[in-house]
Structure 1
Amino acid sequence: MHIVTGGAGFIGSAMVWQLNRMGVDDILVVDNLSTSEKWKNLVGLKYSDYLHRDEFHKYLVREHDPFRTDAIIHMGACSSTTELDADFLMENNYRYTQLVCRFCLNHGARFVNASSAATYGDGRLGFSDDHAGLRALRPLNMYGYSKQLFDLWALESGILDHIASLKFFNVYGPNEYHKGDMKSVICKAYKQIGETGKMKLFKSYRPDYPHGGQKRDFVYVKDCVDLMWWLLEHPDVGGVFNVGTGQARPWVDLANAVFAAMDKTPDIGFIEMPEAIRDKYQYFTQADMTKLRAAGYDKPFTSLEEGAADYVKNYLATDDIHLTS
């Protein structure tokens, strides 16, 4: 059985979709649905059973494996970069991930984990996923720190080469609709442009970057799940790996890609950035993909223009906005 924690969330439900595409439906979805709308991400997907996160936690501490687990794709965590409850993040993102990892190692199951590019902090040390540089990283928020702690624990425990921990950069795509303010800018832009005909971006406060020229590595969720499937097929590949395109693109390129996908003439304005985030704002992120390519993954990543077009035309602009099998 394949277990997907956070299986109703953004990347988790996309991974269930990917498993279905590959002919796998013996899947246990683990999540905490509560009163959110993310249950809609599961409609149309094939899986064997659903288990609440707290009930799954009880199984993890037992000696036996009633699921006959082949792999756990661990996407279940708080993904809010603005979460301020540090104790909650320690338990939900750090301790819980340790428990899931130990369960996999004890039962010979593949473990694929969601780390984050937030571990790189302000980026002044670069974006290399080489293990030698892990200890030097200084995340800027508690979310990034909780992810960093697990990677460091796995490194110090000598198990990092036996698992895969993925540093996702700016992921966008279908099944993120429940995420509120944490939705990708493409998702927000589609609504904003549809309602006003315009797109607003933050001004730059650095002379080396024009307004809207701040850069990010935008990666399509379909590429993310392609990679995770490859990692399941290659259990000998282990370590921390960046997940991005390897090409930083300015925000104005993203806005223009959405306008083009909507067949509209670009109308981009620039607004003041809130003072609360100016000192912590990242002006540049770009995944160093050397290590993943050296490990044997050679599939090309979707360009920003192609990804935006697929997302807008085949999902955001349709009645069937979710990935289904």
Structure 2
Amino acid sequence: MIIVTGAAGFIGSCVVSRLNKEGITDIIAVDVLRENDKWKNLRHLDFVDYLDREQLFDFLEGAANIEAIIHMGACSATTERNAHYLMENNYRYTLKLAQFAMNHGARFIYASSGATYGLGELGYDDDEDNIHRLRPLNMYGYSKQLFDLKARREGWFKNIVGLKFFNVYGPNEYFKGDMASVVFKAFNQIRQTGSVRLFKSHRPDFKDGEQLRDFVYVKDVLEVILFFLQNPDKNGLFNVGSGKARSFLDLVNATFAAMGKKPEIIFFDMPEHLRDRYQYFTEARIEKLRKAGYQKEFASLERGIEDYVRNYLLKDYAHY
């Protein structure tokens, strides 16, 4: 049996779908469903039971034959200000799950975040010996960093896998609100207004729209997760990005192209309260992932966006 947390969310629901494509249906889907529509991400999936997050540990007390826990569940809002909530939801809950998995011989794969790198002033190297030097910019990033640090201090990375996701985009993200990807937001701006709004640059070394991010297609993320699930001897903390930074202009132009439309971009001033906390460059170093044996190529930004737009967004937000 495999437990997937965050199973109604963006990446979690895609994980369950990818497992289903492998013929795996002995899955417990765990999430928190309240007054939103993310339950729709569950409708096409095949799993044996659904549990609320608060029910999971009661279930685990009597569970046997748990092969793996794929822990994608967390508060992913970088704007969340409730530090207590983030500590309990992102740090403490992950800690308890990891301890259960290691005590019961289950595979444990969890979502860390590229947000742990802060402004990137120390680079984007996923070497576990250097993560204590990182300074996340927000409480969300710190809640992820704290568990990474705990795992490093306790020596758990010999037995578990942490995945530092960069800017993930793709199907099933439809219910993320403000935390949805720039691709999703650009698509909807184009459909509604014919244009896309982007922040101006407020640094002389970057032109407007040429701020850089590592955008990674969710289907590539799923292949990485499946690789570690199928290779239990591979453990550690790994970046999961394309390994190639691309500009917001590249992203928007690719979205217009996938929609068969001529680009129309409007630049506007970034709010002042964001300017000293805005990342102008992120790029995952993926040498460690390659050294672990993962050799599949990551989709180019253009290819990923074309697939997302034409096969999902333009088809009434079809699900993966």
Bin of the TM-score, shorter chain as denominator length: over 0.9
Aligned to 1:183: 180
Aligned to 1:47: 47
Letter in 1 for 2:310: K
Classify the secondary structure of the residue corresponding to 2:312: helix
Residues 199-210 of structure 1 aligned to structure 2 (within 5 Å): 199-210=196-207
Determine the C-alpha separation between the residues in 1 that align with 2:17 and 2:64: 20
Taking structure 2 as the reference length, the TM-score comes to 0.99
Determine the C-alpha separation between the residues in 2 that align with 1:300 and 1:56: 36
Aligned to 2:143: 146
Determine the C-alpha separation between the residues in 2 that align with 1:57 and 1:75: 16
Asked if 1:168 is matched to 2:165, the reply is yes
Aligned to 1:28: 28
Classify the secondary structure of the residue corresponding to 1:280: coil
Asked if 1:117 is matched to 2:114, the reply is yes
Deviations 1:133-183 (A, max 9, x none): 111000010000000000100111111121000000000000001000000
Aligned to 1:289: 286
Classify the secondary structure of the residue corresponding to 2:175: helix
Q: Percent identity?
A: 58
Change in 2 beyond 3 A, CA 1:101/1:259: same
Letter in 2 for 1:40: K
Classify the secondary structure of the residue corresponding to 2:237: strand
Deviations 1:297-325 (A, max 9, x none): 000001100010000000000135211xx
Change in 2 beyond 3 A, CA 1:203/1:320: closer
Determine the C-alpha separation between the residues in 2 that align with 1:207 and 1:310: 34
Determine the C-alpha separation between the residues in 2 that align with 1:132 and 1:52: 35
Determine the C-alpha separation between the residues in 1 that align with 2:233 and 2:86: 30
Give yes or no for contact 2:239–2:289 (8 Å, CA) kept in 1.
yes
Aligned to 1:155: 152
Q: Where has structure 1 moved over 2 Å in runs of 4 or more? A: 57-60
Aligned to 1:38: 38
Deviations 1:189-222 (A, max 9, x none): 1110011111111000001100000000000001
Determine the C-alpha separation between the residues in 2 that align with 1:66 and 1:267: 55
Determine the C-alpha separation between the residues in 2 that align with 1:232 and 1:320: 28
Give yes or no for contact 2:6–2:72 (8 Å, CA) kept in 1.
yes
Alignment counterpart, residue 262 of structure 1, candidates 259, 279, 284: 259
Shift of 1:67: 4.5
Letter in 2 for 1:266: P
Aligned to 1:76: 73
Shift of 1:59: 3.7
CA RMSD of aligned residues (A): 0.9
Give yes or no for contact 2:171–2:317 (8 Å, CA) kept in 1.
no
Determine the C-alpha separation between the residues in 1 that align with 2:120 and 2:89: 25
Change in 2 beyond 3 A, CA 1:127/1:305: same
Q: Which moved more, 1:307-316 or 1:66-75?
A: 66-75
Shift of 1:44: 1.1
Aligned pairs, number: 320
Structure 1 alignment gaps of length 5 or more: none
Taking structure 1 as the reference length, the TM-score comes to 0.97
Determine the C-alpha separation between the residues in 2 that align with 1:124 and 1:161: 28
Classify the secondary structure of the residue corresponding to 1:115: strand
Give yes or no for contact 1:151–1:160 (8 Å, CA) kept in 2.
no
Classify the secondary structure of the residue corresponding to 1:79: coil
